Amino acid sequence: MLAMNYRGPFRVRADHKPDPVIEHPGDAIIRVTRSCICGSDLHLYHGLVPDTRVGTTFGHEFVGIVEEVGSQVKKLKVGDHVLVPFNVFCGSCFFCQKELYGNCHNTNAQASAVGGIYGYSHTAGGYDGGQAEFVRVPMADIGPTVIPPDLDEDDAVLLTDALPTGYQAAEMGDISEGDTVVVFGAGPVGIFAAKSAWLLGAGRVIVVDHVEYRLDFVRRYAQCEVVNFREVDDMALHIKKMTDWLGADVCIDAVGCEAAGSAAQTITGVYTMMQAGSATALHWCINSVRKGGNVSIVGVYGPTFNAIPIGNALNKGLTLRMNQASVKRHLPRLIEHIQAGRIDPKQIITHRVPLEEVSDAYHIFSSKLDNCIKTVLIPPSANQVRAVTSTAKN
């Protein structure tokens, strides 16, 4: 099969790799019809995530057709069109029972915090991802969801991560009616966080970034105010000026470990890796939110420490909430929002690129060229049918 192949920082290519096979009777093989490049894939691409191994296939946002199922799979059948949450989870452990699917206790032997994630580093289990023609999906009766017939495939692929993560970012902010919400980051997750803030009752939404075309897009898509931090001397002071000197009720970090805006953070967190990424956006969240306010973190950071003003958070009495999104928990509500026309996820897709050109796609997205917001990869076998050759192990 054709698949994205990681060859080291800033080096990816499309290569032929062996087709995945059923390894466990609960597995399924999915023929991928759409996959996305996520902002967190760029952290891997830039070499910032530990134990990202050469030969890995990235991609945790994908949908496709069930090509084969193991002998114990009962809820899926060959031919089903499914979306696959980025979480690999068992559905039965202590954390899955609490719907903390991103913290599954049984799918990642490499860490005690995060659960398994498709197409990420071996710190997230080492599962190959969906930027390929085919992918093996473990515990196939638990994660995948059959796509409703009236749901567009481009909407469905954004339900595997970007939209649920943005929605959970707003949800974790515990937004009350009329609240002022500031979202740091105008990438896909930040865009969806801004849109979701309105759905949860916000009275004012402000998005902060430094890329003008992204700010123009989110202003139109999420009907929000925008701030270019390159035009601001002191971000916390600026937000306070905009909010009667109180600060925002809720601040959301939708950027993570490659945040621009502070030379010191960039040098220590990105260039020298003395900390787990640049925590500039998190600094701004803590310092811009009002006393007693809420900070929600969905931007990805590494597993080691970050230098953040935790004393300010304590003295201001802040509530900080963060996690990987529990995609499966949000799907019923988000599908309803899409079907009702309250949100149109596919509008953020700006580039559709053949999988054969994955190297160019990463370069365009990483370098923010051609007004790129969200890239979808389309494998050559997206509209083909594969002969089943592998056999389930009993």
* CA geometry: angle 192, 307, 8, nearest 5 deg: 70
Residue 124 pLDDT: 92
Q: Determine what percent of the chain is predicted with pLDDT higher than 70.
A: 97
Check the CA dihedral 114-61-358-222 and report its sign.
negative
Could you tell me the pLDDT band of residue 183, with boundaries at 50, 70 and 90? very high
Q: Cβ–Cβ contacts within 10 Å for residue 144, how many?
A: 25
Alpha helix (H) ranges present in 267-376?
A: 280-288, 310-316, 327-339, 358-366
Instruction: Say how far apart CA 267 and CA 264 lie, in whole Å.
Output: 5
- Mean pLDDT on 234-253: 97
pTM: 0.94
Q: Answer whether residue 245 shows pLDDT above 50.
A: yes
- Mean pLDDT on 245-257: 96
In Å, what is the CA distance from 96 to each residue of 2, 143, 300, 335?
A: 33, 11, 21, 21
Instruction: Say how far apart CA 22 and CA 57 lie, in whole Å.
Output: 18
Per residue in 81-109, pLDDT (tens digit) is 999 999 999 999 999 999 999 999 999 98
- Mean pLDDT on 163-186: 98
Mean pLDDT, the chain, integer: 94
Q: Determine what percent of the chain is predicted with pLDDT higher than 90.
A: 89
End-to-end CA separation in angstroms for the chain: 25
Phi-psi region of 233 (alpha: psi -120 to 50; beta: other; left: phi over 0): alpha
Q: Answer whether residue 184 shows pLDDT above 60.
A: yes
List of residues 6+ apart from 72 with CB closer than 8 A: 25, 26, 141, 392
Q: Cβ–Cβ contacts within 10 Å for residue 173, how many?
A: 29
Could you tell me the pLDDT band of residue 197, with boundaries at 50, 70 and 90? very high
Based on the number of CB atoms within 10 Å of its own CB, is 366 exposed (0-12), middle (13-18) or buried (19 or more)?
A: middle
Q: Cβ–Cβ contacts within 10 Å for residue 264, how many?
A: 10
Could you tell me the pLDDT band of residue 129, with boundaries at 50, 70 and 90? very high
* SS3 assignment, position 387: coil
Q: Answer whether residue 111 shows pLDDT above 80.
A: no
- The closest of 246, 199, 244, 245 to 224, measured between CA atoms, is 199
Q: Count H helices and E strands in the chain, helices first.
A: 12, 17
- Mean pLDDT on 183-204: 98
Which CATH superfamily does the domain covering 165-322 fall into?
Answer: NAD(P)-binding Rossmann-like Domain (3.40.50.720)
Residue 276 pLDDT: 87
Angle between helices 235-242 and 280-288 (to 10 degrees): 40
Tokens describing residue 91: 């559905």
Residue 304 pLDDT: 78
Instruction: Say how far apart CA 12 and CA 57 lie, in whole Å.
Output: 9
Instruction: Say how far apart CA 109 and CA 106 lie, in whole Å.
Output: 7
* SS3 assignment, position 5: strand
Is residue 363 within 8 Å of 2, Cβ to Cβ?
no
Could you tell me the pLDDT band of residue 382, with boundaries at 50, 70 and 90? confident
DSSP state of 313: H
Per residue in 320-331, pLDDT (tens digit) is 999 999 999 999
Specify the amino acid at residue 191. I
Per residue in 25-53, pLDDT (tens digit) is 999 999 999 999 999 999 999 998 889 99
Instruction: Say how far apart CA 381 and CA 227 lie, in whole Å.
Output: 42
Residue 109 pLDDT: 87
CATH of 2-161+326-378 among 3.90.180.10, 3.40.800.10, 3.40.50.300, 3.40.50.720: 3.90.180.10
Residue 384 pLDDT: 59
Per residue in 52-81, pLDDT (tens digit) is 999 999 999 999 999 999 999 999 999 999
Phi/psi for 224 (5° steps) reads -125, 170
Specify the amino acid at residue 63. V
- Mean pLDDT on 113-133: 93
Helix (H) or strand (E) holding 295: strand 289-297
Q: Answer whether residue 157 shows pLDDT above 80.
A: yes
Phi/psi for 216 (5° steps) reads -60, -40
CA 154 to chain centre: 16
Q: Where are the domains of the chain?
A: 2-161+326-378, 165-322
- The closest of 389, 392, 385, 374 to 33, measured between CA atoms, is 385
Q: Answer whether residue 392 shows pLDDT above 80.
A: no
The single residue listed with the structure tokens 């959970």 is 168
Per residue in 284-318, pLDDT (tens digit) is 999 999 999 999 999 998 777 888 999 999 999 99
Residue 329 pLDDT: 97
Check the CA dihedral 228-231-234-240 and report its sign.
negative
Residue 389 pLDDT: 37
